[in-house]
Structure 1
Amino acid sequence: MLLWAFLGLLAKLAAGLPPLQVTAMAMAVGGMLGLGVTMARGRLGRLRQGPLAWFHGVAGLFGYHALYFAALAMAPAVEANLVNYLWPLLIVLLSAPLLGLPLGARRLAGVGLGFAGCALLVGQGAHFPPGAVPGLLCAAAGAVVWATYSVTARRLSVVPTEAVTGFCLAAALLAGSLHLAFENTVPPDGQQALAVLLLGLGPVGGAFFLWDAGMKRGDPRLLGTLAYGIPVLSTMLLLLAGEGVLDLRVGMAALLVAGGGLLASWPGRRSAPA
């Protein structure tokens, strides 16, 4: 999640490159990073997985980003981001029907506080113009795809995290093919190349390996709630970089998100031993 917080800043530095081109290049970097680590550990055989694992991985990684970039192309960024950041809420809520994990009033209250902070941060002046409906639907679909991918990853816990290497490389190949079909290639300058490299090492590559391990070994309800910190941290980094102004709205959003995460992660009352 800390790596994902740099997505906005690095995307800003890569501005001017077509979105599918950025996706293909960044995921190729992330895939090559994973390939190097996997080979060094002598675990290359773990990339051999069944069709279900490949469909789950490639559809999740590529599908989310394709829908997200389509949303930004067809809808105002603020409104699209507000709808897209429903995915942390959906992760917590989907944990009950898909994994059988109880929610409880305390955890739901934490989710509510986190969502309020997210809405306050990215929803100022949101008016959802009628022409943006297709883009907003893409943003909502992207949220559903990423939440479903994240929660169902726990059902595929037998699939090792090293397999994400293959998923990244396949998603990069798919994004590159679509880029060549629908976009014009733009040679990156020095700043853009560095931004894409860092994207691949972090938010659009390396972070996928950490997220996969977290969803399979951790509590998806807690991770989904704490994910509301991503837009807050991303905004803070942009502010430090000179983008925007720190105001009361940002401070209140940070408090709501931090409070929601604290409430959701607070240890519950233990039952007395029999």
Structure 2
Amino acid sequence: MTRQRATTIGFTAILMWALLALLTIGSAPVPPFLLNALCFGIGGGLGLIWLALGPGFDVLRGISWKVYAFGSIALFGYHALYFTAFRIAPAAETGLIAYLWPLFIVLLSGLLPGERLGPLHILGALIAFAGAALILLGRGDTGASVPVAGLVLAFLCAITWAAYSVLSRRLGQVPTESVIVYCLATAALSLLVHLAFEETIWPASRWGWLSVIALGLGPVGAAFFTWDVGMKKGDIQLLGVASYAAPLLSTLALVAGGRAQATPILLLAAALITGGAALAARASLRPVRPAEDG
């Protein structure tokens, strides 16, 4: 698989994550960890069917339990921190801190063997982050005070996802099918937390169930598989900067779905995000070569 193709596959995860907010709203009033268990259960279950009809279960043999533990803890930990942070602190501030993960991916990727972090990568990441900040801060969530604990959890959330994404590059020899185990383990852990701390509330309508299923198929399912391909074999820096398109696309999806209103700030945010990604893309222009397995 070429670097360019792997990068394109990675982009599809960003597109799927753009529907995360809209579908999450539609899944109400399902509590967070139950929703997590349902969605990851759907994603992992479909992965098992794909595995049975395709490469077979033998592909999962020989993978170290440490790898499975790493992926499972990362996916579960990220979502646990994410949901808890949004319960404690206002959405705008929490979302802004949580969306530091693309910037961290770009910066941390420079430490990987064979990768080079240039000035345009850094400048593009900062410009794109400014666009994401405009969207998140422009939602109108205000308050007299912002709980520090919530912001700390959001920061840890960003660090967790960035570390998982970058370290996945070091696991390039591990087949993407391993994500199936990550998803199923995350579903099991989420179910345990739900049973211990949450009240069981199922979707209240057909749209609610459709939203849960759509989440399991896309943003909390297939997206993790395509993101894994992009992180392991694609242009990790370009994907990191392009991830800033997620809050923009998410906002546009909410507008299209009647859950938010279009504002002039979206135009400026779009220009900043597009410009930042363009700078990173220019910095990444070099002869396309096949991705290495390691």
Which TM-score tier does this pair reach, normalised by the shorter chain?
over 0.9
Change (3 A) 1:194 1:268: closer
> How far has the Cα of 1:127 moved from its partner?
6.5
What CA distance in whole angstroms lies between the structure 2 residues aligned with 1:208 and 1:250? 27
1:200-233 CA deviation, whole Å, 9 max, x = no partner?
Answer: 0000111000000110010111100000000000
Counting matched residue pairs gives: 271
In the TM superposition, what are the counterparts of 1:28-39 in structure 2 within 5 Å?
A: 28-39=41-52
- TM-score in terms of structure 2 length: 0.88
* SS of alignment partner, residue 15 of structure 1: coil
> How far has the Cα of 1:43 moved from its partner?
2.4
Change (3 A) 1:242 1:113: same
Partner of 2:221: 205
Partner of 1:146: 161
> How far has the Cα of 1:42 moved from its partner?
3.3
Contact 2:90-2:142 at 8 Å conserved across structures: no
In the TM superposition, what are the counterparts of 1:38-57 in structure 2 within 5 Å?
A: 38-48=51-61, 49-57=63-71
- TM-score in terms of structure 1 length: 0.94
Partner of 1:96: 110
Letter in 1 for 2:123: A
> How far has the Cα of 1:44 moved from its partner?
1.1
Contact 1:5-1:230 at 8 Å conserved across structures: yes
> How far has the Cα of 1:21 moved from its partner?
0.4
Please, what is the CA RMSD of the aligned residues? 1.8
Q: Gaps spanning 5+ residues in structure 1: where?
A: none
In the TM superposition, what are the counterparts of 1:94-173 in structure 2 within 5 Å?
A: 94-99=108-113, 101-124=115-138, 130-173=145-188
What CA distance in whole angstroms lies between the structure 1 residues aligned with 2:86 and 2:71? 23
1:243 aligns with 2:243: no
Identity of aligned residues (%): 45
Contact 1:31-1:169 at 8 Å conserved across structures: yes
Letter in 2 for 1:140: F
> How far has the Cα of 1:38 moved from its partner?
1.0
Partner of 2:290: none
Q: Gaps spanning 5+ residues in structure 2: where?
A: 1-13, 288-294
Contact 1:33-1:206 at 8 Å conserved across structures: no
